Amino acid sequence: MKRTFLGLFFILSIIVLGAGYLCAAAPQLVEKTVSFGTAYTDWDVFAPSLVVGNDSRGMAFVARKDKKYAVVTNGKISPSYDSIAKDTPLFSPDGKRAAYIAKRGDNWHVFLDGREGEGFEAAGKPVFSPDSKRLAYVAKKGKKQLVVADEKKEPAFDGIAIKLNSPLFSPDSAHLAYAAINGKKMVMVRDGQKGKDYDLISAPLFSKDSSRLGYAAKEGDHFMFIDNGKAGPAYEQISVSSYSPDSKKLAYSARKGDKWFMVTDGKEGPRYDSVAIAIFSPDSTRVAHMAIRDGKQFMVIDGKEGPGFKALGFLEFSPDSKHVAYSALEDGKGVMVVDGKAGVRYDTILFPFYSPDSRHLAYGAQKGGKWLIVKDGSEGPLYDKISLPQFSPDSNHFCYMAQKDGKWRMVADGKEQKAYDGVSIPAYSPDSKHLAYAALEKGNWLVVVDGVEGKSRFGAIVKGAKLVFDDAAHLHTLVLDFTGKAFAVYELEIKS
């Protein structure tokens, strides 16, 4: 039986973010829809397999017909196979390339841009490099496992530690590292070259500039942190680690006896019952981490302990690194701590968000069963539900979605806009002059820009697709027609 209910899988079922505002002059919206065609509509579509590229122009999914499987990418059907592997297809970071794993006979093959790779007994989920130019995956051949990178086979091992984020490309895409099992030992492999054997190793970690590769290693009864092949001091245990954004600093948590501490550039910090991962400021000059002592949780910022709380939440440095905010819980109440000062207590506190220029701070809070947004210390109206807040690129505009009386409306620059049955994730234009979102009204999806509704109607906005501005006056997304069968790229031009 054909699946004629695809729309149920792709309609945005939960409203999590939304926004909208009106410009001084209402824009004219010029709309166009480019269909992917209907060549695949006589296939049964496996809806959970649908993936959307980061650019929201490409989409792919697995389809079945006559006990055979195929991958449909942007409306084009691949050859048929005996099976398609779980977690594929997938897109490259730039959304321009697609890969999947398919089985033919006894072998599994990785396909990149439609090109078939060598067959293996098994193949792991492919990994694209950040620049989208490279691809790597783990393959099984006999009793051995190996990494295939850029279609070339690397040395075989007894196992590749996939669960340890392996293989991993460096941020600049030039290097590839992975943890491998070599008999009863483990070894870190970088660009095909094996490091020293250890009893255990952690996942690989590259610095932001890709010049450093780090990991924790166990040798005998002690642990060390290995930074570019150089072993640090021995500890009884090493846990989470991080490099600073400028790649010059390294911090990791370590244990001696029953106490934990942060080691930053080789210097040991104060002892605690437990510590969490170090978070560096964007300019790398500041560092913060959570610590626990005697049942109390502290945020340690620049080496100084903040007040103790029952629990700590999310921490955020401002983009200019001058400010820091984190949520905390005490006596059943949530509070936002900004630059060391605790604010008003609420029933619940959500994530802190700084504006791009670092001048504004906003977060969601619950009070008396209702929700509100707090911006720069001032409370907004109470609603049944709210979304996370969002600032425009120039920091001059601010919006969030709010539900009241079963309807969702945009609250933009402090003003409520038209109420709808649902709203999708919003998008500001690069110049911050326009705000767009998709809205659901009486079963129809439409696009709204600066409060002006487009004339086109759709059965759904494809799940996972975003409204993407190509420039200040053009945007696009992926849509589904009312039959639940035909997908298309929706394009919109804004004429002021």
> pLDDT for 133-154, tens place per residue?
999 999 999 999 999 999 999 9
Q: Which residues pair with 188 in a beta bridge?
A: 179
Answer yes or no: is pLDDT of 15 > 80: no
Q: Provide the sign of the torsion angle of the four alpha carbons 149, 151, 157, 162, taken in this order.
A: positive
Query: What average pLDDT does the chain have?
Result: 93
Give the pLDDT mean for 433-453: 96
Q: What is the DSSP letter of 199?
A: S
Q: What average pLDDT does range 468-479 have in this prediction?
A: 97
Q: What is the per-residue pLDDT across 78-130, written as a single tens digit (0 to 9) for each?
A: 999 999 999 999 999 999 999 999 999 999 999 999 999 999 999 999 999 99
Residue type, position 329, single letter: L
Considering only CA atoms, give the Rg of the chain: 26
Q: Which contiguous run of DSSP H or E holds residue 299?
A: strand 296-301
Share of the chain above pLDDT 90, in %: 91
- Looking at residue 324, what is its pLDDT? 98
Under the banding of pLDDT at 50, 70 and 90, the label for residue 21 is: very low
Tell which wins on pLDDT, 18 or 340. Answer: 340
42: region left, alpha or beta (phi > 0 left; psi from -120 to 50 alpha): alpha
Please determine, for residue 367, whether its predicted confidence score (pLDDT) is greater than 50: yes
pLDDT of residue 39: 79
pLDDT for residue 169 is more than 70: yes
Quick check: 397 and 432 in contact, CB under 8 A?
Answer: yes
The tens digit of pLDDT for each residue in 265-290 reads: 999 999 999 999 999 999 999 999 99
With a cut of 80, say whether residue 4 has pLDDT above it.
no
